[in-house]
Amino acid sequence: MATVLVLCESKGSALRGASLPAVSFGREMAKARGAELALLLVGAGASAAAGDAAKLGAQRVIVVDDPRLGAYLAETWAPIVARVAREQGADVVAATATNLGKDLLPRVAALLDCGMASEVMAILGPSRFRRPMLAGNALAEIEVTTPTLVATVRQTEFPPAQPQGTPCEIVRVEAGAVSDLGAAFVALQETKSERPELTEARIVVSGGRGMRNGENFGFIEKLCDVLGAAMGASRAACDAGFVPNDLQVGQTGKVVAPDLYIAVAISGAIQHLAGMKSSKVIVAVNKDAEAPIFQVADYGLVAQWEKAIPELTEEIQKLKSAQS
Amino acid sequence: MKILVTLKRVPDPEQKIKFKGEALDLSSANYVVNPFDEYAVETALRLTEKADAAARIGEVVVVSIGPKEAAQQLRSALAMGADRAILVAGDDASLDSEQVARIVAKLCEQEKPDLVLMGKQAVDGDSNQAGQLVAGYLGLPQACFASSLELSADGKTLTVGREVDGGVELKRVPLPAVVTVDLRIIQPKAVRNRVTSPEHAYQEGPRYASLKGIMAAKKKELREVTPGDLGAATAARVKIVKIVAPAARKAGVKVETVQELVKKLHEEAKVI
């Protein structure tokens, strides 16, 4: 039977939350094509997350758990995903457009010799999708014409899949021959943070070039902490070295769509708007009343951040204490 | 070291996008080199020179697929310092990533570069596929979203800093390989080739062409070929049915005070 195969990422015994929107895409796709849904977990120790995956409404969960797959490499993973896809008779292979998804899935498409849709925002037909172009300033309707297709899914456009029904079967598949083509994982220089992950947070507070230095981002951090928010930044602020690059929100950084996005001292370049304009509620704090960010903001406050942000932190603190 | 760099012309991202019916109106578009590809050219030049002695120690071949006018963008890369150029005839508005990657893969078979450097994505299509596809077709290792590159002492492997979710991953790949570059690759000390002194700091960003470079570029080889010549004439697998403008977000209200903002967020928007 036709099958939609969705690659899920795991971290220890948990599925990455970022993969759940791809599962929703998979369910919708399986319905549109009258197909079954299979979820795929790959990596050393990936079995630990299989129980969680089995509750997500798929017909089966396939696990390729092998010590040789300890660190992610496109070179070793792509042939495994492509082989499982062939064995399962999958005609759709999808994953969320996380960094891993974006790195891996085109290579899988090359091995399956099929067409691919990137950053899908909506399913319009069995092979027809909506996706953004030109930093989100244009929306394309595309048709993939090959019988098999690969897709990455924009995380902010599909709801995270919720557990449903009884757990499905879990099938273990051997990794078989693994060749890394000489490529090797050397190290991960992790950005440590106690705050929620940027792409999964309900509230995001971002600072821009107007923060002037890294130390001043401390004021943004305090506001994040009272809100339980993740911290982001504009490209200008990252380029200037105020904060680590992986906090960048925008066309070439992270795409976020939280319930509340607060942009502080960010002018609102097209590049930045592309990464946050799907947020439910947008607040802009900027001293320049003409800043383009105000054109997309639901609530705009023309003010110096030096005064407004500590005050906002205090007001929210008051509100929270009154609530608890 | 021989490096093949791909380069796409794109409508100037600073220009306002126009629509005509259910398509883009590109009749008045100014074309520029895709920024990430320009960074790839800069990266290639840094890898193939002894910067502190202004000496070239390798070859950089720039490739574009597009109409005749795309020669202009190739000339600008030659003026920056690339050695020669290849223009593959094609309609850059309708080519899909697969067609691009097939052409680049065929050129790699002809040119046998030690390294293929590409921008991580073209800022018009935003597909982010071509580099990975080339690597997949050729069975080469890949390192995507590079923010730093360091060549080994024997010149046979690259250690690549990759921007990933939650930090920077260091990945080592043997050459030949395909590397796609991200923004940070043009920082002053992001590219190390072990010939240029490690103390050397570049000007941030892609270099400007000198007048001498512009004059020299006119005499450099620019070869024109067709996909058919390369044995890479394939039909598009991803067809664009239509392109429309996204619904505009309506501007909201200005609030006067922080207190008013908190009240609105709490009582009206109910997000805090």
Residue whose structure tokens are 């299509």: B125
Q: What is the DSSP letter of A134?
A: G
Residue of A106, A136, A227 with shortest CB distance to B136: A106
Q: Is A300–B98 a contact, with Cβ atoms under 8 angstroms apart?
A: no
How far is residue A284's CA from residue A296's CA, in Å, rounded to a whole number? 9
Q: How many CA atoms lie within 13 A of B243 on its CB side?
A: 20
pLDDT tops 80 at residue A125: yes
**Roughly what angle, to the nearest 10 degrees, separates helices A217-227 and A305-323?**
20
Q: Establish if B212 touches chain A: CB-CB under 8 angstroms.
A: no
How far is residue B157's CA from residue B150's CA, in Å, rounded to a whole number? 8
Taking residue B223's Cβ as centre, other Cβ atoms within 10 Å add up to 11
pLDDT tops 80 at residue A1: no
- How high is the pLDDT of residue A129? 98
How far is residue B109's CA from residue A87's CA, in Å, rounded to a whole number? 31
- How high is the pLDDT of residue A219? 97
Q: Establish if B153 touches chain A: CB-CB under 8 angstroms.
A: no
Show the 3-state SS of B130-177: HHHHHHHHHCCCEEEEEEEEEECCCCCEEEEEEEECCEEEEEEEECCE
Q: Is A18–B165 a contact, with Cβ atoms under 8 angstroms apart?
A: yes
Q: What integer is the mean pLDDT of A245-249?
A: 91
Residue in chain B closest to A227 (alpha carbons) equals: B272
Residue in chain B closest to A308 (alpha carbons) equals: B258
Q: Is A144–B243 a contact, with Cβ atoms under 8 angstroms apart?
A: no
Residue in chain B closest to A97 (alpha carbons) equals: B128
How far is residue A26's CA from residue A33's CA, in Å, rounded to a whole number? 10
Q: How far is A228 from chain B (nearest CA, A)?
A: 10
pLDDT band at residue B22 using 50, 70 and 90 as cut-offs? very high
pLDDT tops 80 at residue A183: yes
Residue whose structure tokens are 């929270």: A320
pLDDT band at residue B167 using 50, 70 and 90 as cut-offs? confident
Mean pLDDT of chain B: 95
Residue of A136, A197, A281 with shortest CB distance to B269: A281
How far is residue B31's CA from residue A169's CA, in Å, rounded to a whole number? 53
Cα three-residue angle A63-A66-A68, rounded to 5 degrees: 140
pLDDT tops 90 at residue A44: yes
pLDDT tops 90 at residue B250: no
Closest to A264 measured CA to CA, from A286, A249, A247: A286
Residue in chain A closest to B137 (alpha carbons) equals: A110
Taking residue B115's Cβ as centre, other Cβ atoms within 10 Å add up to 25
How far is residue A283's CA from residue B264's CA, in Å, rounded to a whole number? 11
How far is residue A140's CA from residue A133's CA, in Å, rounded to a whole number? 7
How far is residue A297's CA from residue A208's CA, in Å, rounded to a whole number? 15
Express each pLDDT in B229-249 by its tens digit: 999 988 999 999 999 999 888
Percentage of chain A modeled with pLDDT above 90:
88
- Residues of chain B neighbouring A263 (CB-CB closer than 8 A): none
Which two tokens mark A96? 């969320």
How far is residue A128's CA from residue A71's CA, in Å, rounded to a whole number? 34
- How high is the pLDDT of residue B106? 97
- How high is the pLDDT of residue A231? 96
Which residues are within 8 A (CB) of A261 and not within 5 positions of it... i.e. 6 or more apart? A203, A204, A205, A206, A276, A279, A281, A282, A283
Percentage of chain B modeled with pLDDT above 70:
100
Residue whose structure tokens are 């890479």: B232
pLDDT tops 80 at residue A111: yes
Residue of B97, B136, B272 with shortest CB distance to A316: B272
pTM across the whole model: 0.92
pLDDT band at residue A184 using 50, 70 and 90 as cut-offs? very high
- How high is the pLDDT of residue B24? 95
Express each pLDDT in A67-90 by its tens digit: 999 899 999 999 999 999 999 999
- How high is the pLDDT of residue A168? 97
- How high is the pLDDT of residue A270? 87
How far is residue A174's CA from residue A192's CA, in Å, rounded to a whole number? 34
Q: Establish if B171 touches chain A: CB-CB under 8 angstroms.
A: yes
- How high is the pLDDT of residue B92? 83
Residue whose structure tokens are 């105000």: A294
Which residues make beta-bridge pairs with A153?
Answer: A96, A120
Handedness of CA B119, B120, B122, B124 (dihedral sign): negative
pLDDT tops 80 at residue A245: yes
Q: Is A118–B246 a contact, with Cβ atoms under 8 angstroms apart?
A: no
What is the ipTM metric for this complex? 0.95
Q: Is A199–B142 a contact, with Cβ atoms under 8 angstroms apart?
A: no
Q: How far is B218 from chain A (nearest CA, A)?
A: 32
- How high is the pLDDT of residue A251? 83
Contact between B24 and B243 under an 8 Å Cβ cutoff? The reply is yes
pLDDT tops 80 at residue B251: no
pLDDT tops 90 at residue B57: yes
Which residues make beta-bridge pairs with A90?
Answer: A3
- How high is the pLDDT of residue A193? 77
User: Distance of CA A227 to CAs A250, A316, B265, Å?
Assistant: 22, 8, 12
- How high is the pLDDT of residue A91? 96
- How high is the pLDDT of residue A199? 87
How far is residue B71's CA from residue B101's CA, in Å, rounded to a whole number? 19
Express each pLDDT in A186-224 by its tens digit: 999 987 778 888 988 999 999 999 999 999 999 999 999
- How high is the pLDDT of residue B165? 83
- Residues of chain A neighbouring B189 (CB-CB closer than 8 A): none
Please provide the DSSP assignment of A259-295 as one string: SEEEEES----HHHHTTTTT-SEEEEEES-TT-GGGG
pLDDT tops 90 at residue B172: yes
Mean pLDDT of chain A: 95
Q: What integer is the mean pLDDT of A230-245?
A: 93
Show the 3-state SS of A142-204: EEECCCCEEEEECHHHCCCCCCCCCCCEEEECCCCCCCCCCCEEEEEEECCCCCCCCCCCCEE
- Residues of chain A neighbouring B98 (CB-CB closer than 8 A): 109, 115-116
